[in-house]
Amino acid sequence: MTRFAAPIAEQIWDMKYRFKDADGTPRDVTVEDTWRRIARDLAQTEKDSAAWEEKFYTALEDFKYLPAGRITAGAGTARRVTLFNCFVMGTVPDSMGGIFDMLKEAALTMQQGGGIGYDFSTIRPKGADVLGVSADASGPLSFMDVWDAMCRTIMSAGSRRGAMMATMRCDHPDVEDFIAAKSDPARLRMFNMSVLITDPFMEAVKADGSWDLTFDGKVYRTVQARDLWDTIMQATYSYAEPGVIFIDRINAANNLSYCETIAATNPCGEQPLPPYGACLLGSINLARLVANPFDDAAKLDEEALQELVATAVRMMDNVVDVSKFPLDAQAAEAQAKRRIGLGVTGLADALLMVGLRYGSDEAAAQTEAWLKAIARASYLASVDLAKEKGAFPLFDAEAYLASGTMQQMDDDVRDAIRTHGIRNALLTSIAPTGTISLYAGNVSSGIEPVFAYAYTRKVLQKDGSRTEEEVVDYAVQMWRELKGDAPLPDYFVNAQTLPPLDHVKMQAAAQKWVDSSISKTINCPEDISFDAFKDVYMEAWDTGCKGCTTYRPNDVTGSVLSVSEDTKADKPVPVQEGGEVVYMSEPLDRPEELEGNTYKVKWPDSEHAIYITVNDIVLNGHRRPFEVFINSKNMEHFAWTVALTRMVSAVFRRGGDVSFVVEELKAVFDPRGGAWMGGKYIPSILAAIGGVIEQHMIATGFIAGEGMGLKTDPQAKVVGLDAPRGKACTSCGQYDLRMVEGCMTCGSCGHSKCG
């Protein structure tokens, strides 16, 4: 019998987390092998490694504790990849040499699979004097463009493309340009962006006071604080960015405020970190810990929760010692403070199982109680580790206990820390958990509400036929198993029907007992008024949240799965139909004969031409690209042409809307310079190859034209409702994209820019 609750869970495991040889041969034959691999690797630092391996395995078993994707995919594989998800990089110097040193560090970090966060407030504003060169500064936005281009060229470890977070203080002279940057649909696509909001700024907003924009002690101009706030709100209302981070609140609450200052976060926002800080994440699956679900006696097993939390803290602490780091400075920072981010997933499902409506006062109170129990168990477990292995090196008892977070902690926990120290400086954080939630059986992700009760996805088989799979929310599936065809109770709500202020209420309830921060997206209806939209952010500020991210579908951002206003939980479960271009459960076998064309590219200053062959497979009477061969007599090109041939062909054989390959290749620039070909400037040989493949796709009818998408765009609809607008997932073709902390994430396959 399989441990997977749904076919999609097994497919996610196979795609994302299963350890395989370079040729695709599985090392992990079953998911039990994956759990064993992780447990053994994280137990290697223990004196009694065999005993702890068994305890770690038990925690992982049946998806009770879910390490972050980097740990699940990388632990025990002997691959040189970091087990930390994300990093905040060093402070960017206000000098040309220093800026490009930081760019190099970013590239090295992303190469090993780490997302990065940066504060660009330290770069002088556009037009400022540059001493010694008789020139004006180009400003931080121009350097962000360089970072964006770098990110496009780096493919992170596995299938994850690097993600980046950019922050800028609300008093920087270029903050208005920063706010407006994403209004250009072609600019800074690799960044999530947030404005660092200070306490004095919010006081000025509420008082309708003036606000100075300054750099290095010089006031560049003065604006009205409320006008600047409205500018941020209008940008977010129109195109979903920037988010806001209440940075003074973060620093005041930080357990380590005595030895660090935070100015940036990881790409999804749940980990505010100092320079070179690392993001180590894991989640307790609350949906697996509810006893007697959907019964009058339903409750969370708090004894099992405490035991599981203690084991998870120990596992995460060991990750600090077994993981590799892209940079020595990152390793030193992690070792000095040993911060971890233990969170939850399946919260909404757990609330449903105990009969509570997500967003109600009762659900908020229960969430606060559960998160407090996790915080207490985490801190006490870390104290026990300190007794055994020592406190983190920068521990200072009185300074630590004086921080904002620790002042609200229970006296018995404070006394234990004062007496014995603590192993980990910070312990709790709530990540988006989109992919690992699918892997765990499609439990609700993080502290988000259930996104959709059920949908169908079409999977293309080797013979070209399609099968349909229903993907059902974990709690809904459990209801069906226990209650049969009984209608869902009225306390079942989802992300589309939930009022925005109910989202804020749940985020604020959880934040009280989370020492880092929370990845949470507040879904807003398209027709929400601008004033009501602003109220969401002000409520987040007033109720103690550390940041706020919203998503309002519109013509710019696109729509996600729609649910009509009169949809009730006791009506038939909405089902999403899949698109015509889909992810293949396994790569197609190669037929003996394929149709194709060969193209010749002569790159200026190159002795030999490059020949590109694109072969197509015919499915249901339509041609689609299946493989690519790139050949040249120039041995300088040999290694990368072979690599490109294999990579692009592998992508093509997996199916879906593969036209993104063209755009990625066309975006590659060669620092040595491009060339003029056919009246156009082509930035690199790779861009020329991308152009050839694009022309082939146009000629065969796969895409509609240059720079355009599929000729026949996959359609998707909710039964009984209008078809949604917006884009299909570039990985699997499904119309199940949802906004998670500024990252469009596919609910069908887990694909996300942020991983």
Active site residue 268: yes
The candidate with the shortest Cα–Cα distance to 284, out of 297, 301, 267, 298, is: 301
Chain centroid offset of residue 516 CA: 16
Instruction: Select from 724, 723, 698 the least CA-distant residue to 709.
Output: 698
> Do 662 and 668 touch, CB atoms closer than 8 A?
no
Tracing tokens 């909001």 back to the chain, one arrives at 197
Residues with Cβ within 8 Å of 57's Cβ and at least 6 positions away in sequence, in order, are 35, 36, 39
What sign does the dihedral 87-378-324-337 (CA atoms) show? positive
Cβ proximity of 581 and 712 under 8 Å = no
Distance CA 9, CA 438 (A): 6
Strands 341-345 and 454-460, sheet pairing:
unpaired
Are 288 and 64 contacting, i.e. CB atoms less than 8 angstroms apart? yes
List alpha helices for 95-180, DSSP H. 96-111, 140-153, 175-180
The burial of 346, by beta-carbon neighbours within 10 Å (0-12 exposed, 13-18 middle, 19 or more buried), is given as buried
Cα distances from 316 to residues 327, 381, 413, 437, 563, in angstroms, run 20, 12, 20, 19, 39
* Residue (of 80, 105, 108, 157) closest to 324 by Cα position: 80
For residue 291, what are its two tokens?
């006893």
Do 459 and 547 contact (CB within 8 A), yes or no? no
Backbone angles phi, psi at 248, to 5 degrees: -65, -40
Tokens encoding 755? 């991983």
Tell me which of 86, 151, 268, 548 is the catalytic residue.
268
Residue 6 to residue 597: CA distance in whole angstroms: 41
Give catalytic status of residue 266 as yes or no: yes
Specify whether the CB–CB gap between 601 and 690 falls below 8 A: no
Positive or negative torsion for Cα 20, 24, 25, 26: positive
Instruction: Exactly one of 266, 318, 442, 615 is catalytic; name it.
Output: 266
- The verdict on whether 333 is a catalytic residue reads no
Q: Which amino acid, 689? A: I
Identity of the residue numbered 741: E
Q: How far is 665 from 452, CA to CA, in rounded Å?
A: 35
Q: How far is CA 632 from the centre of its chain?
A: 39
Query: Helix (H, G, I), strand (E, B), or coil: what is residue 198?
Result: coil
Hey, which residues does 161 pair with through a beta bridge?
Answer: 155
Reference 277, options 236, 336, 323; nearest CA is 336
* C-alpha dist (Å) from residue 65 to 14, 318, 370, 439, 726: 19, 15, 16, 12, 34
Q: Which amino acid type is present at position 341?
A: G
Distances (CA, A) of 551 to 55, 487, 523, 558: 40, 30, 5, 10
Amino acid at residue number 75: A
Extract the runs of DSSP E, i.e. beta strands, from 4-133: 65-67, 86-88, 115-119, 129-130
In degrees and rounded to multiples of 5, residue 606 shows phi and psi of -110, 135
CA distance 517 to 512: 10
Q: How far apart are CA 173 and CA 577, in angstroms?
A: 48
Inter-residue contact 574 to 450 (CB < 8 Å): no
Q: How many CB atoms lie within 10 A of CB 629?
A: 16
| Amino acid occupying residue 490 | D
Locate 348 and state its tokens.
């909404």
Which of these is catalytic: 53, 260, 270, 539?
Answer: 270
Q: What are the structure tokens assigned to 740, written together?
A: 């998670």
Positions annotated as catalytic residues are 266, 268, 270
